[in-house]
Structure 1
Amino acid sequence: MMDGNEATALVAHKTNEVIAIYPITPSSNMGEHADAYSAAGQTNVWGTVPTVCEMQSEGGASGAVHGALTTGALTTTFTASQGLLLMIPNMFKIAGELTATVFHVSARSIACQALSIFGDHSDVMATRQTGFALLASNSVQEAHDMALIAQAATLESRVPFIHFFDGFRTSHEVNKIEILSDETIREMIDDNLVFEHRARGLNPDRPSMRGTAQNPDVYFQGRETVNPFYEKTPAIVLKAMKKFAKLTGREYSLFEYVGDPKAERIIVAMGSGAETIHEVVEYLNAKGEKVGLVKARLYRPFSAEHLVKAFPKTTKSIAVLDRTKEPGCAGEPLYIDVRNSIGEALENKAAPFTHWPKIVGGRYGLGSKDFTPNQVLAVFENLNQDKPKNHFTVGIVDDVSKTHLELGESVETGDPKTFSAMFYGLGSDGTVGANKDAIKVIGDHTKNNAQGYFVYDSKKSGSMTISHLRFGEKQLRCPYLVSHANFVACHNFSFVEKYDMLKNLKTGGTFLLETEYSKDEIWDKLPLETQQRLIDKKAKFYVINAIKLAESVGLGNRINLFMQTCFFEISKILPRDEYMKYLKEAAKKTYGRKGEEIVKMNWKAIDMAVENLFEVKVPAKATAKTKLKAAMVLKSAPKLVKDVLEPILAGKGDDITVGQMPLDGTYPTGTSQYEKRNVGIYMPAWDIETCIQCGMCALVCPHAAIRTKVYDPKLATKAPKTFKTCKAKGFKEDLGFTVQVAPEDCTGCGACVSICPAFQKDASGKKLETKAINLVHKDETMRVNEAENWDFFLNKIPDPDRALINLNTIKGTQYVKPLIEFSGACAGCGETAYIKLVTQICGDRLMIANATGCS
């Protein structure tokens, strides 16, 4: 069990001598794996440990690759998106010099109207002119296999390769694969070709010059010398694929046809989306529909001959799907290539059919937009029309240009016996790591095929994560999110208040909830919609107070192993004694480097989980008085917040139409003030008696969720009952002072507690561990009271007169309202506190430029 990045890195490390790396999401893990292999002394198939060097930019990495290749070393790199674009100048040189190499790319969006760290083919399509061959993998297994096929092909052809697969959807999907042995890898690589590659390297024993300048009289001719190499490359790749099939039994082709041999409607696609189409084609074929799929693997050099031979003679209509957008073009790249190839084949009487089929193109899946079976069904339905829509989009609603195809209801096209599960967790609570371990246990210790995919949003550790697990006896061709779940788990109770997380639960499914409420109390705490879902779906319902248990064994908010154990107990996928054994082995592997004590804490968590898991009897009638809350505070919010941002935060971003989006990616500032995530399990409590009013707690808060104010003490007479106030220190005037926390914005990171210099003392004057600020467990009563106090503090107490404030002191700066607040930074982030302080010192006469990334 491994993800696409690891599957690729394994082969890359085995077949190279130099690996130049620079991290960029989602390819970074490949470099990390390769670095770890070399650090552990693992060798390539020739018995040497590859040299892994981390450069200072992607341009530096590609330059290092070019240099190492020029000496005759077998060299590779890993990259994506803007990182790949920065390599393009070197790629032209590498290809122009006919130098064998493979760049492994987890294909990712390019930042256009906005940054997207997620997957599509925008980056690799921008390299079409470089002269690199482009070889696509559709799954984790294919990423492993094609990495080797590309290496064999580049050495024989002398054409450099980009081996690419979909960022996140393949790079981060954990799947059960067959690992290539060193013997198979050695069989695939011809040592004579390696020696020839070496011999072409610059060497003082065989001096030569490369990288000359050519004038107008000869440059054109020199550019055309490469033609024979590109003409031979498709046959060389096919030869490598056939050799690979003999060695492993896994067969591949340049263009692979799947479907009814007499199909009339065909889709052409490459990447993970082809696997979804494959599943739907089998589903429709079983229903008697004559449909098919052509999977494109070798995209450059593009072999029109092999493409047209892949189509059945009965083909009447073709839809070509591109996972990229090229504004202003006659069509996206794969569509144009397919259309042109069929046209030339018909002219030359080389096509399997005698008449022009209807050929349309469409875009799908940009920025990792989920590509689902009902979208594939919509594409096939479009091909059924007398005049199919061309240049369409699928998976969105385009109410501006009207390009979209209408979708039907969500359909389950996979094996109905496949078990599917969804786990809602909070970034940094261990949910994702635990589910990776869980799916590996299932894949490694049962006969099931298994798949795990993990959805994060850009807020990382401060936001919701959703883990999608599947396992079953049949092959899993489902690189899309679970929408029909047998099991749903919620690891943070605040999510239940805002998200309809049971909408994807199957009838008769199971819901597991982490909560501080007992099995007898919990029903009355659920929103009306959640209660009704449980009733309508005849669901089984379980609860566990995992936070309390985690605190009791010293794990803080790390509830992952409690929830993971409950999943195995409820699902019955393995007997209890077996899954307990495997979970403990996984825990030791994961936490062993942190020490035996940490391992024993996690083992204790596994042991305690089952006895503290309780089933809740679902009543026959929904009785709740509360409904699901809006994801943002909408009172007085701008229209964009109400119409666009709130649905996005509520998990309904897929319903946003093109017309609702800002034209050029420009948004108003300050919208985070309307978002109340309420994800913190703990929050700071202020002790008036111990506080020295230094302002350090407010200074270090990454989210500006703890603040100080001085004010006319008369204002406090109108404050809520639980509002805290005391006399301000260090002022001539008689002023009130308050430290106030925003309970629904605070993530409970504890940075304020760590920095606080004021310790409480006992009656004898001895220093205690507690301070003027201390983390306490946040219950519902505290949240409501402190939310009321925060509203009063923010809106009823004015910001202090600047004449009273000394901005040359930390204390003084913290009386000024920060102009960057409630950021999406991870809990405890050290960077946002600095930028917040700059706004407090400089005010709004400030321009800030920052690199892309977590900001």
Structure 2
Amino acid sequence: LENQHLFRGLFYGLGADGTVGANKNTIKIVGEVTDDYVQGYFVYDSKKSGSLTVSHLRFSEHPIQSTYLINSANFVACHHFNYLKKYDVLKYAEKEATFLLNAPYEATEVWQHLPRKIQEEIIHKQLKFYTINASKVAREAGMGSRINSVLQTCFFAISNVMTRDLAIQYIKSAIKKTYSRKGEAVVEKNYQAVDMTLDNLHRIDYSAYITGEVPIEAPVSVEAPDFVQQVLGKIIAGEGDDLPVSAFPVDGTYPSGTTKWEKRNIAEQVPVWDPSICSQCGKCYFVCPHAAIRVKVYDRDWLADAPAFFKHTDPIGKEFYKDKEAYTLQVAVEDCTGCKLCTEVCPIESKTLPGHKAIDMMDVEPLKEHEKNNWDYFLSLPDIDRTRVNKGTVKGSQLLEPLFEFSGACSGCGETPYLKLLTQLFGDRMLVANATGCSSIFGGNLPTTPWSTDHEGHGPAWANSLFEDNAEFGLGIKLATDKKREMAFHILKHMREEVGSELADAILKNEENSEGELIDQRKYVNELKKRLRTINTEESYRLYQIAEFLEKKSVWIVGGDGWAYDIGFGGLDHVLSTGENINILVMDTEVYSNTGGQKSKASPIGASAKFAVKGKTTGKKDLAMQAIAHGNAYVAQIAMGANDVHALKTILEAEAFPGSSIIIAYSHCIAHGYDMCHGLDQQKLAVNSGYWPLFRYNPLNEKGKRFSLDCKNPTVALDEFLYHENRFATIKNSDPDMAGQFLNQANEGIKLHWERIEALKQL
């Protein structure tokens, strides 16, 4: 048994809310200030943010011999209220333990909102129950969703690990040490949050009455398939260790499209649509990183069975029938992460209500039940015929079903909108080779995957190889696909009379250049497979096995800058040299995002990153110019937040290009050091300052038109872009002279880059 005088604390946090970091600081404070021995274990999955984190902390006057997770705690903190509905957070709380809860309610209202099971445990175990609305305190202190300093102060105030005043003194010292490089303003906001905390911390004097009616929710939807509920659900609930080996797939295959069953409910505020002023421009759902905003145009007859609070309006556009069809924008409130990119990009503001937009953020709790029903009904509506949609427009492309949804990427991620768009345009015939990095982790994370399928079961085929060979891996997929396609056409020609000459000719002559032709080819191939099942020959069997390759595939190699600029560059360069009809998407965050923000060759001069904390002393590698040097590849640079139409047009052009193509996409990232809700604004500044020019290079165009500059000359000072981001501002704050040198060098680099661009216009 563990020493009963040992402090044993469990802290349930939300990934990226600062809980783990705060607990590490707590360990340092206790270890340095007191004579206690300290220990910490931290448990979390590989989601980039927004998932459950559990910190196990032990403090003792004696050496700590425990080499296992805590199973009897005298202090439990739940930093995210919705966890009470999903996890038994008090399972390991011992009798008379202290329980700290971050709740979005007034202290007098908290008890009535607790699930019945939690109330029972509090009463049965006679817990000392404290609550604070830490999110409110953090917002009022200007810290957004970072609640770590608030809850760390609460911990020291009620845990008796050390005196309150001394603890606060050392908390502020730790804040200074941790955040000073991010600027004095960040430090002051944390100080203010600490000072506001104790006035908002309340002990709940609960009665012995159980009044709760809120049930504990299942870890996944009860409508999910059995395997998802019985295996994946257990893993999501943190009970994966209890599963027998026999529960797992023998061959290691897992179903796709399973993120839709998680319903993480991590957003405190979600977007709310006002159809009365919406222009239906498509920008909000175009930029949504988690595909939590969807739109559909459908027959009005469907409204007869719609829920009472289901919103709709007339569709705008000559391609729609206003008298017969309706338009609905629907938010998946349980899957939304509350990043606010949609409200930031919305261009429509009310003429009568200042500050009110066509889509606004509102507290989720009053909306949740209605919106859950609305989302379920929305999914039952039919998707629009793809041949009716102009996918070359932002609005049109967003009427297409995304086959990449609800990933574990950070809230406001700059990478996922590009992947989502690819699946809307090409997803039902797409093959993806994904380099290791953020995109492979949020794209292939056990137990759930965001890569999905349409109602016919078609969707992206996804695979991840090593970091260093992704380009070669993707090229191999392309060559194998081409070979199977060649074999399929060869056998079909040989079996032309057996399967029917009319059907065979329809398949052989279809060029598959338009959406209609692609759909027709799938119909033809499905009919072919039916006929092949009636022909009992070896040739028929061989063709049946590879018949799907009679349909044109879209092969994509995707990854981040750590792969493309650094570790996998040799393979990338080789693929471009081959001229094979393959597409490459580089999501450039200018840093090794997945491993914690180390510098890469894509990192710009003057940027602070791990291995270059005082600022990178060399400039950003010009990957686009190196690709153009091959002379045979389609090369483009895009930034969705700066010009969404250009990004869409470029992706369509690159996919249609009959050779190798590479798109380098600016992707804002939390490693840049600012609130991700401003990611699109930063993309605009990157372009307008000349830092990130938008262009396309098509070697098949006639001379003088091969290089197209798709943005204006710089109109904004470079420092206006740089110093909105802590990766640059931290150098300015800590070493102004060096920052000035970096800025001068960066300006000179941009000047030289634009001189090269002027020369490229002559190609």
Q: TM-score range by the shorter chain?
A: 0.5 to 0.7
Q: Which position in structure 1 is the counterpart of 2:372?
A: 787
- Consecutive unaligned residues of structure 2, counting only runs of 5 or more, are 443-763
Q: Which position in structure 1 is the counterpart of 2:385?
A: 801
Q: Which position in structure 2 is the counterpart of 1:444?
A: 32
**Match among 615, 639, 646 for residue 233 of structure 2:** 646
**Match among 166, 190, 200 for residue 578 of structure 1:** 166
RMSD (Å), alpha carbons: 1.8
Per-residue CA deviation, residues 512-564 of structure 1 (Å, 9 max, x unaligned), is: 11112233322222222211211221211111111112222211211111111
Shift of 1:774: 2.3
TM-score (norm 2): 0.55
- Cα pair 2:277 2:348 within 8 Å, conserved: yes
Output the CA distance in 2 between the equivalents of 1:666 and 1:548. 43
Instruction: Give the direction of change, closer, same or farther, for the CA distance of 1:479–1:753 in structure 2 (3 Å limit).
Output: farther
Shift of 1:719: 2.4
Work out whether 1:591 is the aligned partner of 2:176: no
- Cα pair 1:534 1:618 within 8 Å, conserved: no
Query: Number of residue pairs matched?
Result: 436
Shift of 1:593: 2.3
Q: Which position in structure 2 is the counterpart of 1:569?
A: 157
Output the CA distance in 2 between the equivalents of 1:743 and 1:759. 22
Shift of 1:675: 1.4
- Cα pair 1:632 1:646 within 8 Å, conserved: yes
Q: Which position in structure 1 is the counterpart of 2:484?
A: none
Output the CA distance in 2 between the equivalents of 1:652 and 1:624. 25
Q: Which position in structure 2 is the counterpart of 1:838?
A: 422
Instruction: Give the direction of change, closer, same or farther, for the CA distance of 1:590–1:777 in structure 2 (3 Å limit).
Output: farther
Q: Which position in structure 2 is the counterpart of 1:246?
A: none
Corresponding residue SS for 2:49: helix
Output the CA distance in 2 between the equivalents of 1:421 and 1:623. 28
Shift of 1:761: 4.0
Q: Which position in structure 2 is the counterpart of 1:721?
A: 308
Output the CA distance in 2 between the equivalents of 1:745 and 1:810. 23
Q: Which position in structure 1 is the counterpart of 2:410?
A: 826
Work out whether 1:753 is the aligned partner of 2:343: yes
In structure 2, give the amino acid aligned to 1:749: C
Per-residue CA deviation, residues 477-496 of structure 1 (Å, 9 max, x unaligned), is: 33322221110111111100
In structure 2, give the amino acid aligned to 1:652: E
Corresponding residue SS for 2:69: coil
* Equivalence map 1:339-738=2 (5 Å): 412=1, 414-635=2-223, 637-732=224-319, 733-734=321-322, 735-738=325-328
Output the CA distance in 1 between the equivalents of 2:343 and 2:77. 32
Output the CA distance in 1 between the equivalents of 2:98 and 2:118. 13
Q: Which position in structure 2 is the counterpart of 1:812?
A: 396
Shift of 1:591: 1.9
- Cα pair 2:346 2:358 within 8 Å, conserved: yes
Corresponding residue SS for 2:280: coil
Work out whether 1:739 is the aligned partner of 2:329: yes
Shift of 1:770: 4.8
Output the CA distance in 2 between the equivalents of 1:535 and 1:793. 42
- Consecutive unaligned residues of structure 1, counting only runs of 5 or more, are 1-411
Corresponding residue SS for 2:117: helix
Shift of 1:769: 5.2
Output the CA distance in 2 between the equivalents of 1:830 and 1:634. 32
In structure 1, give the amino acid aligned to 2:361: L
Shift of 1:794: 1.2
Per-residue CA deviation, residues 685-709 of structure 1 (Å, 9 max, x unaligned), is: 2232442212122122222110111
Corresponding residue SS for 2:5: coil
Q: Which position in structure 1 is the counterpart of 2:466?
A: none
Q: Which position in structure 1 is the counterpart of 2:362?
A: 776
In structure 1, give the amino acid aligned to 2:413: C
In structure 2, give the amino acid aligned to 1:823: S
In structure 1, give the amino acid aligned to 2:302: L
Corresponding residue SS for 1:489: strand
In structure 2, give the amino acid aligned to 1:517: Y
Output the CA distance in 2 between the equivalents of 1:841 and 1:600. 46
Identity of aligned residues (%): 49
Shift of 1:746: 0.3
Per-residue CA deviation, residues 611-644 of structure 1 (Å, 9 max, x unaligned), is: 2111112332433233211011022x22211210
Output the CA distance in 2 between the equivalents of 1:731 and 1:655. 57
Output the CA distance in 2 between the equivalents of 1:429 and 1:851. 27
In structure 1, give the amino acid aligned to 2:425: I
TM-score (norm 1): 0.49
* Equivalence map 1:94-493=2 (5 Å): 412=1, 414-493=2-81
In structure 2, give the amino acid aligned to 1:787: K
Corresponding residue SS for 2:431: coil
Corresponding residue SS for 1:415: coil
Shift of 1:775: 2.1
Per-residue CA deviation, residues 409-439 of structure 1 (Å, 9 max, x unaligned), is: xxx3x33321011111111111111111111
Corresponding residue SS for 2:294: strand
Corresponding residue SS for 2:194: helix
Q: Which position in structure 1 is the counterpart of 2:751?
A: none
Instruction: Give the direction of change, closer, same or farther, for the CA distance of 1:585–1:761 in structure 2 (3 Å limit).
Output: farther
Per-residue CA deviation, residues 779-813 of structure 1 (Å, 9 max, x unaligned), is: 2x211111111112111x21112232112222112
Output the CA distance in 2 between the equivalents of 1:483 and 1:419. 12
Output the CA distance in 2 between the equivalents of 1:805 and 1:584. 56
- Cα pair 2:49 2:408 within 8 Å, conserved: no
Output the CA distance in 2 between the equivalents of 1:626 and 1:754. 34
Shift of 1:595: 2.4
Q: Which has the higher contact order (CA 8 A, sep 6+)?
A: 2
Output the CA distance in 2 between the equivalents of 1:687 and 1:638. 35
Output the CA distance in 2 between the equivalents of 1:490 and 1:760. 39
